[in-house]
């Protein structure tokens, strides 16, 4: 069972804000509460360093200093977008694992397996969503789940993902990984 982690930014000492967040939520969320700009920066650095991931950020009853620190760090209320980076095998480069292309398929192919049977390498191609949205990407190579570090295997989202592609938006832009579902 996944437990959500919430970064709560508040000056409230009564516990009212925390109680509002916790009410009706199952399972009970883990809440990291900060009430000073220094504590906020430290908590945010922990997230940026991969030590913790906040599923959402909530601010309530804050002062100007906290609002300014949120703006300086680029923190916004709401749900975080989970984009983690992974090193594959013994390679030094890290790649983002992006979920925004789930359920997309390569144009002119019935499945990713059909596309793989053509043995593509370093080629531009197009994918389409079930809604008919078409995106152009640059294909670099296929990878399997075993190429990921052990930490990936503990993630809930990895359970049904076994094959992936390393792609980029253009031939020279940053490479990222997409799950082939």
Q: In the block, which residue shows the tokens 């390498």?
A: 121
For the beta carbon of residue 28, count every other beta carbon within 10 angstroms.
9
Residue 42 has pLDDT above 60, yes or no: yes
* Average confidence (pLDDT) over 156-161: 81
Q: pLDDT digit string (tens) for 90-132?
A: 788 888 888 888 889 999 999 999 999 988 888 999 999 888 8
CA 24 to chain centre: 26
Query: Are 128 and 107 in contact, with CB atoms under 8 Å apart?
Result: yes
* Average confidence (pLDDT) over 127-154: 88
């Amino acid at each position: 069972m996944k437990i959500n982690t919430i970064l709560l930014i508040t000056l409230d000492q009564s516990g009212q804000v925390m109680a509002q967040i916790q009410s009706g939520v199952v399972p009970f969320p883990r809440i990291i509460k900060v009430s000073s700009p220094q504590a906020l920066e430290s908590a945010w650095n922990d997230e940026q360093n991969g030590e913790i991931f906040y599923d959402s950020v909530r601010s309530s009853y804050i002062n100007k200093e906290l609002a300014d620190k949120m703006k300086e760090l680029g923190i916004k209320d709401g749900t975080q977008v989970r984009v983690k980076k992974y090193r594959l095998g013994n390679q030094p480069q890290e790649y983002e694992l992006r979920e925004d292309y789930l359920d997309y398929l390569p144009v002119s192919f019935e499945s990713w397996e059909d596309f793989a049977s053509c043995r593509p390498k370093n080629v531009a191609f197009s994918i389409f969503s079930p809604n008919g949205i078409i995106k152009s990407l640059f294909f670099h190579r296929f990878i399997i789940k075993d190429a990921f570090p052990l930490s990936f295997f503990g993630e809930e989202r990895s359970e049904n993902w076994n094959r992936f592609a390393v792609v980029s938006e253009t031939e020279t832009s940053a490479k990222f990984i997409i799950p082939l579902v």
